[in-house]
Amino acid sequence: AARAKYWDLAGTPFGLRHAFFTARDGTKLHYVTSAPAAGSSASAPKSNLVIFVHGFPDSWVLWRRLLASERLRASSTLVAVDLPGYGGSDSLDRYGADEVLEILVAFAYAMRGEYLPEELEERGRVVVVGHDWGSLIGSRLAAEAPELADRFVLIGGVIPHHVLTSASERIASARQMLHTWTTRPRSLRLIRTALATLSPVLAQLRRSGYVFAFRLPRPFAGLIGTAAGAWFLRVTHSLHVGPRRPRPQLERTPAAEAMAASVGPGPAQLGEGAGDERGYDEAALRRRDRDAGWMDKIGLYRDGLFSGRWTKSVETMLALRELEMEADAAAAAAAAAAAARRTRRSSSGADASPSASPDPPRGALRAPAALVWGGEDAAFEGRLCAAALGEYLVAGGSGAVVVEGAGHWVPVEGEGEKEEEGQGQGSAGGGWRLVEGVVAGWGVGGCEGEEEEGGGGGGGGLRGVLDGLGLRVRWVAER
């Protein structure tokens, strides 16, 4: 029953429609959308498109509260995709940067063409919202394919090259201190400083210990999945309620639904269209049904997606070039107004807006991005992941914040909590309503010309949106 609720292709969970995207090589990605079926007499296309990308070990179901949001549906077509190897999507032979980023670019490009047709009188924004691995993927797209979306909302993830650079710099600094100590062995201060410098790196290694297990040789990694995969998924889902102590046990029905959301459809959901472009891949589903898709899920950790080199295909480069040209044409109409605003600021003696570094570091986000971490996120060490982050936010209007009281699974935190008067955000850390507010207020909303004006200060931009939500946030970086 739990699987049927989310995966029956004839159903309409949360008022959504199941659909499939087929890539050039025949790989299918399953997704759900708030848009009516083609040829339907339902409402006209919306001017904005929001694409949600989940992480480990989830599926499109992670976004259920956002997908049901009337506030978002009022102005936007909502799409939530299952990553390759997850949910109802096909598996890949390899989950490296070339494979995963290529198919997701193709998917997003196709969604733009499908749900933002050229006949729209006014085309709004395309927003990519990612969590966990979806956030990491979104970071790479914002850095290496910024034309793909107008805004990126990245929750519970990091900028891969920033973290690697930050860790490398700390290790090099500590090594130099220890080398100096060998010539001055009585200087205990050098030892203490070296250990303090390494402390964030060691703390992150402790938090990421499970990753090393996932990256063991395939037979051993598979054995972990067989022996403890279901237990690991249950523990993971118990964290969805947020950073509470003592942590409550999920009741039987929510626990079954949580597992169904991670495991995906089973043989009973194959139904009409199985094996063709209208349905799930039967062979993949039957294989995953034996191990809950464990090896597919951990493939994201094993094959270099985090920081491996991405060699774009000709098709991807052409698609991105087309989107860049469209963006240039749309920006031309606003150029005069932006110039006038800059002139007014200059003539009034106001400071010029902050400009991007002429030579940003590798992996810097070149599209406007909002990075959100929970203050009690158990996955990432803030001293490492948020240090010197400003130079990695190239586009105006970007920002990074830590939300006090929130955990890792912000998109589902606060579910089921009664909203008391004056406490519209549900959980202490904002929960899913935080994401709703950022996507609606900053993602598809926001002030015209915000990119040129920096988006900071005053009542506009990301800062204004978060101030309006009344949350306790700590700003890490802002442009």
Question: The domain that contains 473 carries what CATH number?
Answer: 3.40.50.1820
Q: Are 376 and 155 in contact (CB under 8 A)?
A: no
Phi, psi angles (nearest 5°) of residue 153: -110, 115
pLDDT at 223: 85
On whether residue 186 sits in a domain, the answer given is no
On whether residue 421 sits in a domain, the answer given is no
Give the containing element (helix H, strand E) for 266. none
Q: Are 365 and 148 in contact (CB under 8 A)?
A: no
Higher pLDDT, 349 or 445: 445
**pLDDT class of 458 with cuts at 50, 70, 90:** very low
pLDDT at 233: 72
- Span 28-47, pLDDT tens digits: 999 999 998 776 666 677 88
Task: HSE, CB side, 13 Å, CA atoms: give it for residue 150.
Answer: 24
Which region among 135-139, 315-319, 471-475 has the lowest average model confidence (pLDDT)? 471-475
User: Domain range for residue 220?
Assistant: 1-37+44-170+215-331+362-413+431-442+462-478
116-121: average pLDDT: 71
Q: Are 436 and 468 in contact (CB under 8 A)?
A: no
- Cα–Cα distance, 30 to 292 (Å, whole number): 17
Higher pLDDT, 249 or 387: 387
62-66: average pLDDT: 95
Residue owning tokens 């805004």: 151
Cα 262 to its chain centre, rounded Å, is 17
- Cα–Cα distance, 127 to 281 (Å, whole number): 29
**pLDDT class of 350 with cuts at 50, 70, 90:** very low
- List Cα–Cα distances, 121 to 115, 125, 359, 406, in angstroms: 13, 13, 37, 40
pLDDT at 15: 93
| Structural domains counted in the chain | 1
104-121: average pLDDT: 87
The gap between the terminal CA atoms of the chain, to the nearest Å, is 48
Kindly tell me if the per-residue pLDDT of 80 is higher than 90: yes
Higher pLDDT, 83 or 46: 83
- Cα–Cα distance, 421 to 418 (Å, whole number): 10
Give the containing element (helix H, strand E) for 77. strand 76-81
- Cα–Cα distance, 60 to 412 (Å, whole number): 12
Kindly tell me if the per-residue pLDDT of 256 is higher than 60: yes
pLDDT at 56: 93
pLDDT at 274: 56
On whether residue 357 sits in a domain, the answer given is no
- Which tokens hold the place of 369? 């991005």
SS3 track for 219-243? HHHHHHHHHHHHHHHHHHHHHHHCC
- Cα–Cα distance, 150 to 142 (Å, whole number): 9
Kindly tell me if the per-residue pLDDT of 104 is higher than 60: yes
- Cα–Cα distance, 435 to 54 (Å, whole number): 13
144-164: average pLDDT: 96
Which region among 272-276, 294-298, 337-341, 353-357 has the lowest average model confidence (pLDDT)? 353-357
On whether residue 420 sits in a domain, the answer given is no
Q: Is 92 helix (H, G, I), strand (E, B) or coil?
A: coil
Helices 133-144 and 97-115 cross at an angle (nearest 10°) of 80
Give the containing element (helix H, strand E) for 462. helix 461-469
pLDDT at 319: 94
- Cα–Cα distance, 92 to 299 (Å, whole number): 9
**pLDDT class of 73 with cuts at 50, 70, 90:** very high
**pLDDT class of 345 with cuts at 50, 70, 90:** very low
**pLDDT class of 351 with cuts at 50, 70, 90:** very low
DSSP state for residue 393 in the 8-state scheme: B
Kindly tell me if the per-residue pLDDT of 16 is higher than 90: yes
- Span 278-322, pLDDT tens digits: 788 888 787 777 777 889 999 999 999 999 999 999 999 999 999
191-219: average pLDDT: 92
Q: Say if residue 203 is exposed, middle or buried (CB neighbours under 10 Å; 0-12, 13-18, 19+).
A: middle
Report the mean per-residue pLDDT for the chain.
83
pLDDT at 120: 65
- Which tokens hold the place of 229? 């995969």
Kindly tell me if the per-residue pLDDT of 336 is higher than 70: no
Dihedral sign from CA coordinates of 299, 300, 304, 310:
positive
- Cα–Cα distance, 237 to 213 (Å, whole number): 19
**pLDDT class of 231 with cuts at 50, 70, 90:** low
Q: Evaluate if pTM is beyond 0.85.
A: yes
- Cα–Cα distance, 371 to 90 (Å, whole number): 29
